[in-house]
Structure 1
Amino acid sequence: MIQEIKIPRILVSGTGSGTGKTTLTIALTKALQAKGLKVSVFKCGPDYLDPGYHSFVTGKTCQNLDGWLMGKGSVISSFISASQGSDISIIEGVMGLFDGHSPNSEAGSTAEIAKWLQVPTIVMIDASGMAATFSAIASGIKNYDPQIPIRGFVANYIGSKSHLSIIENASIPLQILGGFPKSYEHSFPERHLGLHSAGPDILTEEKLSFWKNLSEEWIDIEKILEIANSAPPLPKEGPKEIQTKAKDCKIGVAYDETFHFYYEDNFKKLTDYGAELIFFSPLKDAKLPEVDGLYIGGGYPELFADSLEKNKNLIEEIRNFANSERPIYAECGGLMYLSSEIQNIEGQSFSMVGLIPGKAIMSPKLKSLGYVEVHTEKRTILGEAGIRFRGHQFRYSDLILENEDDSLFSYHIRKRNSEKNTKEGYTVLNVLASYVHAHWASNPEIPKNFIDSCRRFKI
């Protein structure tokens, strides 16, 4: 049975990366919270870092919304579910509004999410050195695809209030919702994967208060609330009954400053299908929790390699866990941790768990970026051969194997818009490790199969 649900919502988009979408989203969140509103925040695309910022600010998990990885149905259901209990939902776009998987298609773009969720959209434009040209750019964006409900624009990097007034006068009849002056000293620092990971040292109270106060002074918050409240109802299906087994499977999840790149939807699917998640820290814990399987996600092991190496008790615990043939699933940073060693940018090497016979070598240059499709070539802890799912890679390291033994590989990976397949998916015992960040909405059988493997090999 289809019902309708009213969710006040707004989408913060831009003309490209670096236009200030994350800063505006955080500023709006803080300003709305100051009004006593409960805010849910979402991030378009596969990124992990921006969602960490939004989770820190809201105190609740920021969900990813990715059309290519998840599909329309999962995007809508995830949005509706995670918006419950909030007064307003803010969605931060990815890259430019129309940028997706192809220059000739909106598939995988912020625009696609805007249409699927019928969400009023505001666009942030870098206005430095502009006057009437701002209006020309804004007009082009608004008219490019009339199906996208663009409701206003925000000017970033403006020089003064008079500069903003000039842009407003030049942009009639477009709706200018305000702007931000240049304030580089309050910007959020970046590194090779984008922003630094969220934390109180980065998102200080002083910075958060600054952006809240600035938005209250320079942005028409009341108009944005009005726009958000104008969003039409969304169709909501009645609750689906998920047949779950009793929670007799415990999965240990590596989660700390080192490993925190996970899709929340993957966690939800594991718990929906009967797993209990128990979190532990490879940095600080000397022993593993009593669990039936391990899930080690991505992160920054190269930054904490010295401390990871020194935690020899936990390394030995993970080796023994693997030798008992209990399942371990690892992604990107998790793969690096399970390798023989990590070599950082400075050329220093640190011994790791040593289950995957290879050395992860960091590079100052990006080694892989983009969406991939995975096809399993043999049976793994994720199921039988022939399983397909989608994921994303974003890495600055390569794994140099000690021996190119075909028995190590279980994946064929194809990059989007490419016919070339590469071997990957390293398997040893019941360990499966890869550079791919998988989103299990692309194949909900994956979490079921992983749980079944954990049950099958539990001690």
Structure 2
Amino acid sequence: MTKKPAFLIAAAKSGGGKTTLTMGILAALVRRGYDVQPFKCGPDFIDPTLHKLVTGNVSYNLDLKMMGNGCCKQTFHEKGHTHDILVIEGVMGLFDGGVASSAELAKTLDIPVIIVIDAQSSAESAVAVLKGFEVFDPRVTLAGVIFNKIGSERHRQLIYDSVLTKSSVPVLGFMPRDARFTIPERHLGLYMGDEQPLSDESINQLAAAVEQHLDLETMLKSKVSLSAPAPKKRVSHPRPRKKKYIAIAKDDAFSFYYPQNIEMLHNNGFEIVPFSPLHDESIPDRVDMIYFGGGYPENFAKQLSENRLMIEQIHSCHVQGIHIYGECGGFMYLCNSLIDIEQHEYSMVGIFPFRTVMNRRLRSLGYRQVRLQKKCLLGPKGVILHGHEFHYSKLETELLSQSSGEIELLYKLDNNSQEGYSVGSAIGSYVHLHFGNDSNVITHIYNQLG
């Protein structure tokens, strides 16, 4: 067992500045020369890309609901063992989300919590909020508090004086309001790290502000004990094992992938071959499977629709019986057409006889437990898989009557609805699956590829 500095950055509520402060703290630690391993509590795809933008290291999801305790612990210890400092960004408010909350993850990993309190338009009342978090669950260790959006020195002093008499939580600093540090947003949340939502100059300014206003030295006194990683175990399989090739759509339109899923595939006999439905004209040669993750196809619908050579290639692969799997945005691309927020309709691949229509309001959000209704690429009938759903589009099914292909429903969800569709060798669904809860899915995929 080795001890390393580690903490989870949580907040009293969503929108309190947790992500911005996390980026600032990560950037400040990197500027000091530390090798920081970031993590994200919850199923989010976007925040981990921002962590990577700042640290240069892949940020891994830790989600008790979707991945299970064992996978979360293994990921945390294995990925953190070779780095100097481990930092987890929480999700929503500290106690929000039940079993998937930041508080439950902190208890599971025995990691101290730094709580961020949005103090805008309040003073002593912000300390009352802190006191509530301090006593709500004694099993959660609060290593310190950061008061965010401080407006003046008088504002800071009122809060500080109140903390001294009302709370025993160490004050790690007061972060002033500064519009320069606002990260731009859109319908699915913040912009991805690859899109450079903050310039290098802004990141440096944010890191400098953290150094000036926060107590990093005290933060680094928070430590966890890490187990030495066990020898890597590949998923059991018969020998010899022939390499399988998976083409993975990766560009500005398709970027939502859990890194653990990709690594599990890579570590168990799969060669990952990236390609771009936006820019390439053909699928990579010799592939056994094509994987379309989620992302923003609605923002690139015109370009995707105009790349007819790529669409024809995907159709050819489908006719040949090559397995195709699409999640959320990838599923939308594989449908007949997409209507964007401006009501422009664009033809898509057309494997699934649906039209997807973008809405300005969120259509679906939440964890999904999937029971397979029949044997398919992902597992035998009855197998339970875990994932998450988050989208602004809806599925229109009027085109089903015009479909010449046989379409089947594959998933029964834990809310008693049905989802997940197959047409020949293609599977499409709005649910983003995480394979960490049952690594047997990797073996099954491998075997199904022949």
Shorter-chain TM-score above 0.5? yes
Task: For 1:379-394, list aligned pairs within 5 A.
Answer: 379-394=375-390
SS in 1 for 2:105: helix
Deviations 1:416-447 (A, max 9, x none): xx4xx222111111100100000111221222
The aligned length equals 440
SS at match of 1:135: helix
Q: Runs of 5+ in structure 2 lacking a partner?
A: none
- Give the unaligned 5+ runs of structure 1: 102-106
Show the 5 A alignment for 1:136-151.
136-151=128-143
CA–CA separation in structure 1 for the residues paired with 2:242 and 2:257 = 21
Q: Give the structure-2-normalised TM-score.
A: 0.94
- What is the DSSP-based 3-state SS (H/G/I as helix, E as strand, rest coil) of the residue aligned with 1:233? strand
Secondary structure of 2:175's counterpart equals strand
Normalised to the residue count of structure 1, the TM-score between the two structures is 0.92
1:51–1:62: 8 Å Cα contact kept in structure 2?
yes
SS of 2:143's equivalent in the other structure is strand
Whether the aligned pair in 2 keeps the contact of 1:372 and 1:413 (CA below 8 Å) is no
Q: Distance in 2 between matches of 1:200 and 1:408?
A: 37
Per-residue deviation at 1:59? Answer: 1.4
**2:320 matched to 1:321?**
no
Contact 2:81 2:229 in 1 (8 A): no
CA distance in structure 2 between the partners assigned to 1:153 and 1:435 by the alignment: 38
Counterpart position of 1:104:
none
Q: Does 1:224 align with 2:196?
A: no
Q: What is the aligned partner in structure 2 of residue 444 from structure 1?
A: 439
Q: Which string of whole-angstrom CA distances, capped at 9 and with x for unpartnered residues, describes residues 249-269 of structure 1?
A: 010110111111011111121
Contact conserved, 2:66 with 2:387, CA < 8 A, in 1? yes
Q: Given the alignment of the two structures, is residue 361 of structure 1 paired with residue 360 of structure 2, yes or no?
A: no
CA distance in 1, matches of 2:221, 2:242: 44
Q: Return the alpha-carbon distance in structure 2 between the equivalents of residues 428 and 232 of structure 1.
A: 48
SS in 2 for 1:146: coil
| 67, 71, 76: which one aligns with 2:68 | 71
Distance 2:199 2:408 in 1: 44
The residue that corresponds to 2:344 in the other structure is 348
Say yes or no: does 1:5 pair with 2:2.
Answer: yes
2:297 partner SS: coil
- The equivalent position to 1:374 in structure 2, one of 355, 364, 370, is 370
User: Any conservation in 1 of the 2:78–2:228 contact (CA below 8 Å)?
Assistant: no
Distance 1:394 1:285, change over 3 A: same
Q: 1:248: which partner in 2?
A: 243
Instruction: Choose which of 414, 423, 426 in structure 2 pairs with 1:428.
Output: 423
Deviations 1:319-370 (A, max 9, x none): 1011100101110000000001110011001111111111111111111000
1:26-425 equivalences under 5 Å are: 26-101=23-98, 107-172=99-164, 173-227=168-222, 231-236=223-228, 238-242=230-234, 243=236, 246=241, 248-290=243-285, 291-401=287-397, 402-403=399-400, 408-415=407-414, 418=415, 421-425=416-420
Q: CA deviation at 1:166?
A: 2.4
Distance 1:318 1:21 in 2: 41
Quote how far apart the aligned CAs of 1:84 are. Answer: 3.1
In terms of mean alpha carbon deviation, does 399-408 or 358-367 score higher? 399-408
Q: Percent identity?
A: 38
Farther off after superposition, 195-204 or 149-158? 195-204
Distance change (3 Å), C-alpha of 1:200 and 1:327: closer
Instruction: Give the Cα–Cα distance (whole angstroms) in 1 for the partners of residues 57 and 180 of structure 2.
Output: 27
Query: Residue 79 of structure 1 aligns to which amino acid in structure 2?
Result: F
Distance 2:438 2:233 in 1: 18
Q: Is the 8 A contact 1:375 1:387 kept in 2?
A: yes
Maintained 8 Å contact 2:289/2:324: yes
CA RMSD between the two structures: 1.7
Q: Amino acid of the residue matched to residue 331 of structure 1?
A: E
Q: Secondary structure at the match of 1:22?
A: helix
1:97-143 C-alpha deviation (Å, 9 max, x unpaired):
01114xxxxx1110111011111110001101222212211111011
Alpha-carbon distance, 1:16 to partner: 1.2
